[in-house]
Structures are given as structure tokens and as C-alpha cells.
Amino acid sequence: MTQEPIGAPPPARPTGTGTKVFLGLLAALAVGGMVYLGVLEARRAQLVPDGAAAPGFELPRHGGGVLKLEEFRGQVVMLDFWATWCPPCREEMPALVKLAKEYESQGLVFLAASRDDGDMAPQLVDGFIRRHLPELKPYVVYASDDMARAFQVSALPTLYFLDREGKVMDAQRGALSEDALRRRIERALKQQ
């Protein structure tokens, strides 16, 4: 056995090692992708299932008053759980407001259920509305911890569509593009 001199470069690797590393990385990415898709499906499975009666609710309205689920029989409800501190929520909200206005005449009701914390929630929401989105004001309600638990909200944003009878017809955790929101709204309004 010959001894390498000190400071000499290591012996060359056999050819094909780069290919093995590449294939190993490719396999790891494939497994990671499958795990990611599984996690998404598991998260969807943890939401209130489609067809189930939506949990009843009474929501304090921004600016005063209370809304009840029963008030919206015969209409499709787009219920978005969000918070002013949530970047994806803030990014998605202008599209939600725009589409809510566009589809109101077709029977869509939009409720932006704030999950901002505690007694400061109205001030935080007021500041957000003034600085970023004045058109949001008529849609804001406040969701209690009990309501968030009933709707299995564990991440924000979480969006529910409730049919004209108050049953869950669709739910999504995570922000959606305007096009994806539009498709969901149109599908919800077409169902009887």
C-alpha cells in the first residue's frame, strides 16, 4: 500500500458518483413532494367536512351589532378566517373584497372573520382598514376562540363556503389566487 504525501489532493472518485448523487437527490425530492401532498390532504381532512351542517354562530360585527348564521339562509356564505398580522391573509383580502362586491347580487355573502387577539382586535382591524383596505369595513366580524375551534381553524387564512342551507360545501386552508377564488365562488353559487 502506498502512502499519499501530506497535502496531496485526494484520489479521484470513480466516475458515476455524480450521477448517483443526482439520482439520490431526485428520489429525495420525489419523496418530499409526496409527503407534502399528503400533508395538504391531511390538513384538508381536518376541516369541517363538505356536506356537514356548519356550526351555528353569532359574530360581533365590526362597528356594532351581531350576525347569526340563520340570517343567511338562501344565500351562499364565503367565511374567511384571517388576521391583520397574517401576511397571506393581507395579500388575499383585496381579491376577496373585490369578488364579494362582484358576486353580491348573485347571492354571495362575505364575512371576514378576524382572529386578531383580545380587546385590541377592533383597533388593529380599524388601523388595517384605514391604511390598506377601506372597502373591507362592512364585511368584518370577530370570530371567538370557540367558533375557530368549531370550524377547526388551526392556520390562517382558512376559507369556508356555506351553501344556501348552511352546510359546508368547500373549505380551504391557505391563501388562494383571485382566479382560484373566482372558480370556487362560481361553483358555490351554481349549486342548489
Provide the angle, in degrees to the nearest 10, between the axes of the packed helices 178-190 and 87-103: 40
Interval 140-182: pLDDT, tens: 999 999 999 999 999 999 999 999 999 999 999 999 999 999 9
Interval 47-98: pLDDT, tens: 989 999 999 999 999 999 999 999 999 999 999 999 999 999 999 999 999 9
Interval 17-52: pLDDT, tens: 667 766 666 666 655 555 444 444 444 457 989 999
168 neighbors 48 (Cβ within 8 angstroms): yes
The alpha carbon torsion through 161, 167, 170, 174 (nearest 10 deg) reads: 60
CA distance 174 to 121: 21
Q: How does DSSP classify residue 71?
A: G
Q: Cell numbers at residue 120, please?
A: 385590541
Interval 90-147: pLDDT, tens: 999 999 999 999 999 999 999 999 999 888 999 999 999 999 999 999 999 999 999 9
- Whole-structure pTM value: 0.76
* pLDDT at position 9 over 80: no
Tally of CB atoms within 10 A around 140: 23
The pLDDT, as a whole number, for residue 191 is 87
Q: Cell numbers at residue 51, please?
A: 356536506
103 neighbors 189 (Cβ within 8 angstroms): yes
Of residues 153, 149, 47, 58, the one with CA closest to residue 111:
58
- Average predicted confidence (pLDDT) for the chain: 86
Q: Which residue has the higher pLDDT, 9 or 189?
A: 189
CA distance 113 to 143: 5
CA distance 186 to 33: 30
